[in-house]
């Protein structure tokens, strides 16, 4: 053992080789840690290259969205609702046309068919509109007056079910022809 300075305590002299060994181990651990960190940084750079491809996809998607911005779902929904309403109005117009065409004399012939014919046409119209269990509330005497002449017009009160919900309303009759149908759910009638 080399000669030690007599002023140093003995425990310092005996621990110097252990301290040197610990420093070498710490330096080796630091070198391994640095090598692992560099390997991780290289892997992150490789993954970062893949993210560049995502940025290109994002710009392409933004360009595509700008080109197809005219497809607004709300506008499509409103267009479909308008088409449905137009279809209902077209059905009503076709039913009125068929009713007038059935009677060769127009309203006069339909007035001559009586209350039974008028009630049958009302039930047929409501069934065509999707109602079921149709009941005529207007008394037969009032319906006879509606069928009496071409110039008579009035309302026939009806009750029916649609999708299981009781609906109440009226069918407007002008000159023996069904002019319009107004129905609403019974729960909407009461405040």
Residue-level pLDDT, tens digit, the chain, 191 residues: 456 566 778 888 888 899 999 999 999 999 999 999 999 999 999 888 888 888 888 888 888 877 776 667 778 888 898 998 888 888 877 877 777 666 545 444 444 467 778 888 888 888 888 888 889 998 888 888 777 766 778 889 999 998 888 999 999 888 777 888 888 887 765 65
Put simply, whether the predicted model's pTM sits higher than 0.75 gets the answer no
Q: Write out the two tokens for 65.
A: 């969205």
Sorted by sequence, the CB contacts under 8 Å of residue 150 that are 6+ apart come out as: 107, 108, 111, 175, 176
* Exposure b/e, 75-90, CB count within 10 A at least 16 = b: eeeeeeeeeeeeeeee
Q: For residue 114, is it left (φ>0), alpha (ψ between -120 and 50) or beta?
A: left
Residue 151 has phi, psi (to 5 degrees) of: -80, -10
């Amino acid at each position: 053992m080399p000669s030690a300075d007599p002023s140093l305590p003995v425990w310092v002299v005996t621990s110097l080789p252990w301290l040197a060994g610990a420093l070498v181990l710490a330096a080796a651990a630091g070198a391994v840690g640095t090598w692992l960190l560099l390997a991780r940084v290289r892997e992150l750079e490789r993954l970062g290259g893949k993210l560049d491809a995502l940025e290109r996809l994002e710009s392409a998607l933004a360009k595509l969205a700008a080109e197809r911005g005219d497809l607004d779902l709300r506008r499509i929904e409103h267009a479909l609702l308008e088409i449905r309403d137009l279809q209902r109005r077209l059905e009503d117009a076709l039913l009125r046309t068929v009713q007038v065409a059935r009677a060769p004399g127009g309203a006069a012939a339909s007035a001559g068919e009586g209350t039974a014919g008028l009630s049958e046409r009302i039930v047929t119209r409501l069934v065509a509109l999707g109602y079921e269990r149709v009941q005529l509330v207007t008394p037969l005497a009032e319906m006879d007056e509606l069928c009496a002449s071409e110039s008579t017009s009035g309302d026939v009160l009806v009750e029916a079910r649609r999708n299981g919900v009781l609906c109440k309303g009226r069918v407007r009759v002008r000159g023996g022809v069904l002019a319009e149908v107004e129905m609403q759910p019974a729960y909407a009638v009461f405040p």
